[in-house]
Structure 1
Amino acid sequence: MHRASDLQSRLDIALDIARVAGEVALRHFNSALSITLKDDASPVTIADQETEREIRNRLQSVFPQDGIYGEEYGGEGLERDTVWVIDPIDGTRSFIAGVPLFGLLMAMMRGGEAQIGICRLPALDQVYAAARGCGATLNGRRISASGQTELSRAMLFINEGEKIYASHPRVFDRLLSAGGLRRLSYDCQPHALVAAGQVDAVVDCGLKPYDYLPMVAIVQEAGGVITDWTGAALDFGSDGRVVTAATPELHAALLELLG
């Protein structure tokens, strides 16, 4: 067990780091950017790199004993009990296109479990945050999942739909007829919207640990459920297929659909 006061203190520090780093990202938003492609053909910009460096430098200054794992510069100290997981700009394609739904993600893992989560949307001036046992917030206000239990009435977001279609075409077809209202979506915001009670469920695919681990504490502390497609807890070794739901009942219905 980890004292709530310790986690809240660490969350407050991490929120300040996320605020400063988000300003770094915003300075590059809607500007001409040089784009480089990684080995997996995903884009990276100087904004991604500068923002991650800002986060890493500040974390190392305040928590030198902790490990860090980030999208742009990899991991160090991953064998340590406490590891920070960071995605400086989740949704780089959105960022490049001038779409304001990109996010800055941070998680604190301790003993392999997510204890802190931050999802900051700098262009919207929104920050979703949670520390284990302390609840989830949006800009400091407590939030909770919707409580929707019925898939037939749920607002369902299908995230990264082309990835789901390419790897699981039959699942994609079933998703298109599921729920009361469906939307195709991208990036981290849909999972945060489940925590805020504005969306009932999200099905996602092709994610990396720095994409999904920051959302775990936020969703769970808001009363929601977030797992892989088999219902297993998310960790560093998960396969990147993620389902987020407002309630256990809705989550179970989605697992049946995904099976």
Structure 2
Amino acid sequence: MTKLDLAALLPQLVSIVQDAGELIVRNSTLPKDIRKKGGNDLVTETDVAVEEQLKHRLIELLPESKFLAEESSAQNTLGDLTWVIDPLDGTTNFAHGLPFVATSVALWGQGRPVLGVINLPLLREVFAASYGGGAWCNGEAIHVSTTSELSQALVATGFPYDIKTYLPEILNNLEKFLPRTRGVRRPGAAALDLAYVACGRYDGFWESALHPWDTAAGLLLVTEAGGRVSQYDAHEKYIPGDTGILATNGLLHETMSDLLCTEA
């Protein structure tokens, strides 16, 4: 990867993602053209339009870059100088008029995300991070929570689209965490969940069967905000696309990992 001025690129990326978010805002009150990609996995015309707008603008920003995008990529391969794009995370929420939707864009290079933006257009919040440059929400620096006791923690999770395959695991983990925490939330958009860990609203998050575009930007946000990300096993490095992700404020990481890795 050629040497990039990440500090200069980040505000340009934020502007590009915010502009695409306005398309989501405009379309949020219009009738939805909804189709299924499989099972309960939905796609709307807005998903496709936002992705196309992002790709057009991002290739202008970095002409030598490549794309790994949810609606147009045939495989989940992370390459050097690759934009990793989820145009509309939380499509089911969007289809039902819920505001918990996100656009997630990361720039992947040299084995890590180096830029990341998660825009919550209907909630008017933009989270941004650069490698080594910290994490921000609407221009204000953010940091993970300082909660150190699981009993005081608010945590989040998600449910894979292949619910039948993962139902035993989901129920097993809920049985572990519900009685041991202050609460478990499931908004239905992994990018939003990771942004909320980064800014301290959640103390931890776990989910299985996510794609690289779901987590690449959030991985950078959480780590730059002082948190920790791994596979369910705290000793296994997480690469977007791995089977399961655990993201926490760091203080709860080993505790949550132990629960996830232990049979009920």
Structure 2 Cα separation of the partners of residues 235 and 97 of structure 1: 31
Matched, 1:149 2:151: no
Q: CA distance change for structure 1 residues 242 and 23 in 2, over 3 Å: closer, same or farther?
A: same
Match of 2:202?
199
Q: CA distance change for structure 1 residues 10 and 158 in 2, over 3 Å: closer, same or farther?
A: same
Structure 1 Cα separation of the partners of residues 184 and 54 of structure 2: 35
Secondary structure of the 1:120 match is strand
Shift of residue 228, structure 1, vs aligned partner = 1.8
Secondary structure of the 2:186 match is strand
Amino acid at match of 1:184: R
Match of 1:226?
229
Match of 2:118?
119
Match of 1:31?
30
- Residues 213 and 234 in structure 1, CA contact (< 8 A), matched pair in contact too: no
Amino acid at match of 2:11: D
Structure 2 Cα separation of the partners of residues 252 and 109 of structure 1: 27
Q: RMSD of the alignment, in Å?
A: 2.3
Structure 1 Cα separation of the partners of residues 156 and 40 of structure 2: 25
- Residues 156 and 202 in structure 2, CA contact (< 8 A), matched pair in contact too: yes
Q: Deviations over 1:47-80 (max 9, x none)?
A: 000000000011112211011110001169x675
- Residues 66 and 80 in structure 1, CA contact (< 8 A), matched pair in contact too: no
Structure 2 Cα separation of the partners of residues 2 and 148 of structure 1: 39
Give the aligned length. 255
Q: Percent identity?
A: 29
Match of 2:176?
174
Secondary structure of the 2:87 match is strand
Structure 2 Cα separation of the partners of residues 95 and 57 of structure 1: 23
Q: Which stretch of structure 1 is more off in the superposition, 189-198 or 67-76?
A: 67-76
Amino acid at match of 1:185: P
Structure 1 Cα separation of the partners of residues 141 and 35 of structure 2: 39
- Residues 84 and 216 in structure 2, CA contact (< 8 A), matched pair in contact too: yes
- Residues 223 and 246 in structure 1, CA contact (< 8 A), matched pair in contact too: yes
Structure 1 Cα separation of the partners of residues 168 and 218 of structure 2: 23
Matched, 1:7 2:20: no
Q: Deviations over 1:199-242 (max 9, x none)?
A: 21112223111001110111111101122212322224411x22
Shift of residue 81, structure 1, vs aligned partner = 2.0
Structure 2 Cα separation of the partners of residues 88 and 172 of structure 1: 29
